[in-house]
Chains A and B, each alone.
Chain A
Amino acid sequence: MAYIKVNQQNVKSKKEAIEICPFNAIESQNDKIVINSACKMCKICINQMPEIYEFVEGKKIILNKDEWKGIVVYVDHVEGNIHPVTYELIGKAKQLAKKINHPVYCLFIGSDIREKADDLLHYGVDEVFVYDEKELYDFRIEPYTAVFEDFINNVKPTIILVGGTTIGRSLAPRVAARFRTGLTADCTILDVKENTDLDQIRPAFGGNIMAHIHTPKHRPQFSTVRYKIFDAPEKNENKSGKITVCEIKKNKLKSVIKVLEIKKKDKVKSIEEAEIIVVAGNGVRQESDLILIQKLADKLGGMVATTRPLIEAGWTDAKNQIGLSGRTVKPKLIITCGVSGSIQFVAGMNNSENIFAINSDPNAQIFKVANYGIVGDLYEILPELIDSL
């Protein structure tokens, strides 16, 4: 099996050898340095102390990568209404496909969706595979997984992109596990190598770290991507590509889940749709001061969003939180007020077109992503700004 070998004889300082690991996965046992089960295989130890830590390859898995062809976008929808993340993924799939000369496919699972599938042909995909059965009207995990499995077995795509929606985040891991293949969640950068290995980059380990992840020995390769990370292609007037309606045996569509009701949530505009956002961060001293932030948002015709600490303090609703554990936004303008700029927050907004950041700490992380970093007290700046608009 693959493992990290510890060359004990080269250990000069035990303390240093142990502390190289940020995850406490290296410890001393019976006077020997050992790797424990907290290891995340980040390979920091191998890179930093190659004389001590050595990577030993496991058995070779033989995989013919040429047998797997095509890049698939899962068409995310509720009751046939296609989620816009789908088009963004088509845009990315087209870029990737061009590099390796593969086709772009869509997988559309639902009921009474044949006509809606036509719309996808305006975005330059090569083929839309449609599974249109009444059992697939609602999203239920077993039949949807069964259909996905059927599709993969028939088409053998190399890469599958799924939107990081409620459905996508439930369905993609289930299908990936069925094929015992890898899935990388919430990728923020995707690229592809000539040998069709997908380079997946995402914030990792809950810290200020990006990880470059790949799936070298398994196919298909799965990624989920949040809404508003990539750009959707322009809609073409003309259609291209074709629609293939697929059949599946009814016994595969069995489910022990009954959907009793779908309730529409009160239609409040979500921050993801806003073109202008003003963000209140930890620098806002008290709940009542949020009115200042709201005033600025009103002047600009935008919405107010917040960071995790303010949600935890109960000042605003969680649906207004920007960040990895909240929403990803990509507005034309974002003004952050008293936001320090943790990576979790930044990951949720750094694709915004214009970033203004107000913070009194000149070393705040947020200034690294801000186009306009305003070093100062938001309580002095905002009233002036609101007055001058």
Chain B
Amino acid sequence: MNITVCIKQVPGTSEVEIDEKTGNLIRDGISAKMNPYDLYAIETAMQLKKQNDSKVNVISMGPPQALDIIKEAYMMGADSGYLLTDRKFAGADVLATAYTLSQGIKKMENYDLIICGKMTTDGDTAQVGPEIAEFLGIPHVANVKKILDINSKSITVEMDMSESLEIQEVQLPCLITVEKEIYQPRLPSFKLKLSTANREIKQITFDDLDDSDVENFGLDGSPTQVLDIFPPESNRKNEKWEGTGKELGNKMAKKLKELKFV
């Protein structure tokens, strides 16, 4: 069985902020890491590999520095890795990102199952997975908490519906997005780091893709546009209290009684 895992490099911290006085962005380091939710996707693939003797292939889209997370996936046990990288992919929104990934996935080994993390920590949309499935014309199940069974024809999963759990049996090929509860991700192995140090990472550029219409990628392929960015509002009426612990505790109690919470 072939399993494809989609991963993304995200900023190492979430500390991108706007200086409220100047409107400039405050840069905080240049650290980057693998999207934490993708670690669960890779781990899920590794668990299935253990049971089914599968091959695990990872794909990412991003600038050349995203090669780092593919190397990290190798250290977790992935067998092959691909990076979609091209300036023509720049400025992609959710739709263009999902479309580009779906085009890239077609250039990889065939897949039986595609696994994505639940969401990324920089985009926070949780939409790319379902959109990839749509572009590939395969079913998907989001928010998978548990894999109950997998065979050559189908996978049975437990989907978290917030108030209930739904058990779905889905024919392969399909795409799933996985929750954090699914498996505890392993740490990258030093042994694998050494043994995969020279393993190839195939780079896929625009020219390699089936779709040669550049308007479907990057900025042009993105229906949504950012008009403006600004710091979050904080124009609520607010008061600040200072004093000793005793004073503040009493003042709070008084206020809560006044507001009829007690």
A contact residues vs B (CB 8 Å cutoff): 1-4, 19, 22-25, 34-44, 48, 58-59, 78, 138-142, 145, 165-167, 169-174, 176-178, 180-186, 199-200, 203-218, 255-265, 276, 299-300, 318, 324-325, 332-333, 342-344, 346-347, 354, 356, 358, 362, 367-377, 379-385, 387-389
Contacts and interface: CB of A to CB of B under 8 A. Distances in A.
Contacts of B252: 356, 372, 374, 381, 385
Contact of A37 (B61, B129, B166): B61
A25 B25 CA distance: 14
A1 B171 contact: no
Contacts of B63: 24-25, 36-38
B196 interface: no
Given A177-B135, A263-B166, 14 more contacts: A37-B62, A169-B142, A174-B130, A178-B134, A182-B223, A204-B229, A206-B14, A208-B17, A257-B169, A258-B170, A262-B165, A300-B256, A318-B181, A372-B255
Given A205-B16, A256-B171, A36 B223 contact: no
Contacts of A276: 261
B223 A180 contact: yes
A373 B234 CA distance: 13
Nearest to B255: A372
B99 to A, nearest CB: 8
A260 B220 contact: no
Contact of B250 (A354, A371, A384): A384
B124 interface: yes
Contact of A261 (B26, B166, B246): B166
A128 to B, nearest CB: 23
Contacts of A174: 130-131, 133-134, 140
Nearest 10 A/B pairs, CB to CB: A380-B245, A384-B249, A207-B16, A182-B223, A368-B234, A41-B91, A182-B224, A388-B253, A39-B90, A256-B171
B54 interface: no
A369 B231 CA distance: 13
Contact of B164 (A203, A265, A347): A265
B240 interface: yes
B234 A35 contact: no
B90 A372 contact: no
Interface string B194-232: 000000000000000000001100111011111111111
14 contacts: A1-B214, A165-B162, A173-B131, A174-B140, A176-B127, A180-B223, A183-B127, A207-B14, A262-B164, A262-B167, A300-B256, A347-B232, A381-B248, A389-B256
Interface residues of B, number: 109
Contact of A209 (B18, B181, B245): B18
Contact of B94 (A145, A183, A324, A356): A183
B135 A381 contact: no
Contact of B141 (A25, A141, A300, A369): A141
B230 A362 contact: no
Interface in B120-176: 120-131, 133-135, 139-143, 156, 159-171, 174
B107 interface: no
A166 to B, nearest CB: 5
Interface of B: 10-11, 14-18, 24-27, 30, 32, 61-65, 85-91, 93-95, 98-99, 119-131, 133-135, 139-143, 156, 159-171, 174, 180-181, 214-215, 218-220, 222-234, 236-246, 248-256, 259, 261-262
Given A206-B122, A371-B237, A376-B245, A212 B230 contact: yes
Nearest to B119: A325
A216 B225 contact: yes
A24 B14 contact: no
Contacts of B62: 37-38
A106 B216 CA distance: 32
Contact of A41 (B214, B222, B245): B222
Contacts of B233: 210
Contacts of B87: 34-37
Contacts of A265: 163-165
B227 A212 contact: yes
A172 B125 CA distance: 11
Nearest to A208: B17
Nearest to B94: A183
Contacts of B139: 141-142, 255-257
Nearest to B9: A38
Contacts of B174: 256
Contacts of A210: 229-233
Contacts of B256: 300, 333, 356, 389
